[in-house]
Amino acid sequence: MPTPTRFCLVPLLAVAFALTACVPGPDKHAPSFFTDLPEPTEPHDDNIIRATELAVDQMMTTARELLEREDRILVATFVDANAFQLTSNFGRFSRDVVEGRLASMGFRPRVITLRRDTISVTPEGEFVLTRDPARIAGQHEAEAIVVGRYNVAGSGVNKTVYCHLRILRAADGAVIGSHDYDLPVGPRTASLLRGGTEARAD
């Protein structure tokens, strides 16, 4: 005599097969969630603070051997490589990050104005001391000066800001350390770069 369990399984299996037959197969023409996503139109922002701090670390690799802790270091606002008399919020923000990083290393940084009677930029983009280095060092009681410039290139997802950072010895204007780095121009970076102003300290 068949058990009740076997009779109960038969109708259940029949219902399961019927439901399976009603499920439609994959539509080859249906849009794919992964392949049909819109292409990005601009890059994502990088961590500006961290990237700038790492650049300062690299720049100071050799410079620290020529300086002593608690030395005074002047820090100028970063300037636009295409218009050396101009800067932006990006240039001022980068300067402030450099100042903070140098302070964390034990130096005594001080923000200065990038002006013609102290520092100028040659047509080739080189920073030079336009006055007697000894007078500059004496006036500010500084052993070194940090300067930087930036240049924006590319478009869309490839838009990038290229930065150059260097430290000059105040006694003779010699370069004692430098570093190049770049950042993707995402929305926040683009906002900082927007609008040029005269490169003066705040």
Q: Tens digits of per-residue pLDDT, 135-160?
A: 666 677 889 989 899 999 988 888 99
For the cut 70, the answer to whether the pLDDT of residue 34 exceeds it is no
Say if CB 77 and CB 91 are below 8 A apart.
yes
Residue 98 to residue 85: CA distance in whole angstroms: 20
Indicate the burial class of 94 (C-beta count within 10 angstroms; 0-12, 13-18, 19 or more). Answer: buried
Of 65-69, 112-116, 174-178, 187-191, minimum mean pLDDT range: 112-116
| pLDDT value, residue 24 | 58
Q: Indicate the SS3 state at residue 22.
A: helix
Out of 3.30.470.10, 3.40.109.10, 3.40.50.10610, 2.30.130.10, the CATH code matching 48-198 is: 3.40.50.10610
Instruction: Categorize the per-residue pLDDT at 114 as very low, low, confident or very high, splitting at 50, 70 and 90.
Output: low
Helical (H) or strand (E) element with 21:
helix 4-22
Place of tokens 């994959």: 26
**Cα→Cα distances 201→33, 35, 73, 118, Å:** 50, 49, 15, 13
Instruction: Categorize the per-residue pLDDT at 91 as very low, low, confident or very high, splitting at 50, 70 and 90.
Output: very high
Average pLDDT over residues 11-16: 54
Average pLDDT over residues 87-91: 91
44's tokens: 């994502």
134's tokens: 């000894």
- Does residue 153 come out as left (phi exceeding 0), alpha (psi in the -120 to 50 range) or beta? beta
Instruction: Categorize the per-residue pLDDT at 39 as very low, low, confident or very high, splitting at 50, 70 and 90.
Output: low
Could you tell me the pTM of the whole model?
A: 0.71
192's tokens: 């900082």
Question: How many residues does the structure list for the chain?
Answer: 202
Average pLDDT over residues 31-35: 54
Q: What is the pLDDT of residues 156-192, one digit of tens each?
A: 888 999 999 999 888 888 899 999 999 999 999 999 9
Contacts of residue 127, defined as CB under 8 A and 6 or more positions apart, other chains included, come to: 119, 120, 121, 147, 166, 168
Helical (H) or strand (E) element with 133:
helix 133-140
Enumerate the domain spans of the chain: 48-198
Instruction: Categorize the per-residue pLDDT at 202 as very low, low, confident or very high, splitting at 50, 70 and 90.
Output: very low
Place of tokens 């794919």: 32
